[in-house]
Amino acid sequence: MTETLLRIDTSARHEGSVTRELGDRIEAKLNAGKIIRRDLADQVIPQLDAGWLHAAFTSDEERTTEQRDHLALSDRLIAEIQEADTLLLTVPVYNFNVPASLKSWVDMIARAGITFRYTESGAVGLLDGKRAILAIASGGTEVDSAIDHATPWLRQVLNFVGITDIQVVRSDKQAVDPEASKARAETDLENLAA
């Protein structure tokens, strides 16, 4: 049983979404004591702008009220991750990559000094000890193929902030071979540790 699960849905579709369906099945298998939900189709995460960047690179004690307001959503999103033991990201592959909403979410949570820090030997993630499960679906892109810019990027981002225990449940290439896609998902679900 997972203690606290942070579920992040990214599909623009609520009905007929393979990733949301996979997410439901994974969530049931994990049987979390507490679930934090964030649906990026329902809440638009703004892109970074000059005000946000200036606020993020101003020391906490020197930030103005306006700068704190710029970072308020970022602070909430980071607090959700910090509280979670497991992250479940349900991600359709749109045009070989993640939905733009997920990229905006990543930009909000990758904060120097909070989720990672720089050292002489490079960046060190500060969110270690957590697990991530990626539920990935695509029409024609094979997970981890040369044209998949979603799955490797997500692994890189999660590793960057310290999350290295990452499992993938995939239902890829649905438009190419729906039965094989479904079979891959079933195998991945069976192999997923609760």
Instruction: Indicate the annotated binding residues for FMN.
Output: 11
Closest Cα to residue 132, out of 108, 174, 111, 161? 161
Binding-site annotation: residue ranges? 11
- Residue 58 CB coordination number (10 Å): 15
Centroid of chain to Cα 141: 19
Of how many residues is the chain composed?
Answer: 194
